[in-house]
Amino acid sequence: MAHSINKLSTTQINKLARAGLHGDGGGLYLQITKGGVKSWLFRYMKNGQARGMGLGPLHTVSLAEARVSALAARKQLLDGIDPLDAKEQRRASTNAAAAKIKTFDECAEAYIEAHRSGWKNAKHGDQWVSTLDTYASPHFGSLAVSAIDTALIMKALEPIWREKTETASRVRGRIESVLDWATVRGHRTGENPARWKGHLDHLLPKRSKVQKVEHHAALPYADAPGFMSDLRKQDGISAKALELLILTATRTNEVLGARWGEFDLNEKIWTIPDDRMKAGKEHRVPLSKAALCILKMMKNHRQNDYVFAGQRENRPLSNMALLQLLKRMERGDLTAHGFRSTFRDWVGETTHYPREVAEAALAHLLKNKAEAAYARGDLFSKRAAMMQDWADYLGHGKRMVG
């Protein structure tokens, strides 16, 4: 009975070379292939059928370790558990758990793809990818999303919080959104370490305390007529686009992305759809005589559906076109967006038009609830008069009174 188990010795198993099964007792066997590869096998009967479960190769699993594994298997059989079935279930559970583990980068990619169609343009999705790749991924992109904690978030944000406050704030918000998504999808649990209120606001200074306010370079309104005179001497589509932008006090993307279907030249209205507006709300722009003149001129040279067609087929003029134009005019100190400030200063300092009329022209949402409730319409007729006065001022340099 003493020799029914533990029959083999370390010396024996090292010398054995004959292919086949060499029993140690208790169902444990040293298995040798024809090629001389040695491994451990536990054999047993289950419901009248012989079954075998590998316990690992000899070079990894020692004789003593194989005997421990065989003993554990025999105990499972006594408890009515099939050791091979139990091993396969453990492997399946491990694989399932591994499949559930997602890295931050994987979750970020999934989040972006899930929301991309709901964003206004492809550029927004590209910005998400770029900022997370630059500021989050180097710190924890390859880590399991469940392992991300406050220390890691701070490691990503602290170096840029003071110098790139606006960017850092956006990164924080995007990380928070990705982690919220991961929680809902079951990839992590607990509080979101990227949340601001009641958490990071105790660790980082408020944006208002450290952020440097950067304004778009704007032209003083007194110099606007002279600039417009110089602009009208420039050739090319970009000059016409910038002129329309100034006359309508609109944004670069709104002008360059303008399609002919948005214009009713007879009614003198340009209707910018909500999906092209920053505030996500449709905006009607009254067209002055000067603006209409530009549009009629462009229509005579229409190339595609865009008012200001670019060089690529069925694509608008590039965003860089206006900046390049300003550089050619030796006005690299200005930005196209800054002309909105020029217009706003002109309205506020030289006319009697109410503030809400000027804000409506700029498509700004009024923060004051009382003002917003009062100005329920878009004040179109008043804005039409104001924009004509603005065009007249730009053309003649005269001060207009609303």
Q: In this structure, what token pair is assigned to residue 334?
A: 């200005």
Which residue type is seen at 156? A
pLDDT-wise least confident of 26-30, 43-47, 259-263, 396-400: 396-400
35: Cβ contacts below 8 Å, ≥ 6 apart: none
d(CA 118, CA 125): 10
**Domain end call among 60, 81, 100:** 100
d(CA 262, CA 273): 8
Answer yes or no: do 119 and 34 share one domain.
no
Which residue type is seen at 107? C
Residue 4, domain member (yes or no):
no
CATH number at residue 123: 1.10.150.130
**Domain end call among 81, 100, 119:** 100
d(CA 340, CA 363): 11
Residue 1, domain member (yes or no):
no
What pLDDT, on a 0 to 100 scale, did the predictor assign at position 260?
94
Answer yes or no: do 44 and 108 share one domain.
no
What pLDDT, on a 0 to 100 scale, did the predictor assign at position 364?
85
d(CA 50, CA 257): 74
pLDDT score of 43 more than 90: yes
What pLDDT, on a 0 to 100 scale, did the predictor assign at position 398?
44
d(CA 359, CA 240): 25
pLDDT-wise least confident of 58-72, 195-209, 284-298: 195-209
| Domains: count for the chain | 3
Q: Assess contact for 171 and 131: CB atoms under 8 A.
A: yes
pLDDT tens, position by position, 195-241: 999 999 999 988 767 655 555 578 999 999 999 999 999 999 999 99
Q: Assess contact for 61 and 70: CB atoms under 8 A.
A: no
pLDDT score of 168 more than 50: yes
H or E element in which residue 91 lies: helix 83-100
Q: In this structure, what token pair is assigned to residue 34?
A: 């024809």
CATH number at residue 363: 1.10.443.10
d(CA 293, CA 312): 26
pLDDT tens, position by position, 79-128: 889 998 888 888 876 666 665 688 999 999 999 999 988 776 667 788 89
Mean pLDDT of the chain: 88
Task: Find which of 97-111, 127-141, 305-319, 365-379 is predicted with most confidence, using mean pLDDT.
Answer: 127-141
Q: In this structure, what token pair is assigned to residue 89?
A: 């279930």
Q: Assess contact for 122 and 80: CB atoms under 8 A.
A: no
Answer yes or no: do 283 and 353 share one domain.
yes
274: helix, strand or coil: helix
CATH number at residue 26: 3.30.160.390
What pLDDT, on a 0 to 100 scale, did the predictor assign at position 269?
96
Answer yes or no: do 39 and 96 share one domain.
yes
Q: Assess contact for 288 and 388: CB atoms under 8 A.
A: yes
Answer yes or no: do 67 and 122 share one domain.
no
Answer yes or no: do 242 and 384 share one domain.
yes
End-to-end, the C-alpha distance of the chain in Å comes to 114
> How far from the centroid of its chain's Cα atoms is residue 270's Cα?
31
d(CA 291, CA 243): 8
The DSSP annotation for 282-337 comes to -EEEEPPHHHHHHHHHHHTT--SSBSSB-SSTT-B--THHHHHHHHHTT-TT--ST
Which residue type is seen at 332? G
Answer yes or no: do 285 and 372 share one domain.
yes
What pLDDT, on a 0 to 100 scale, did the predictor assign at position 278?
83
Which residue type is seen at 367? K
**Structural domain span for residue 93:** 10-100
With DSSP H G I counted as helix, E B as strand and the rest as coil, what are the percentages for the chain, rounded to 5?
55, 10, 35
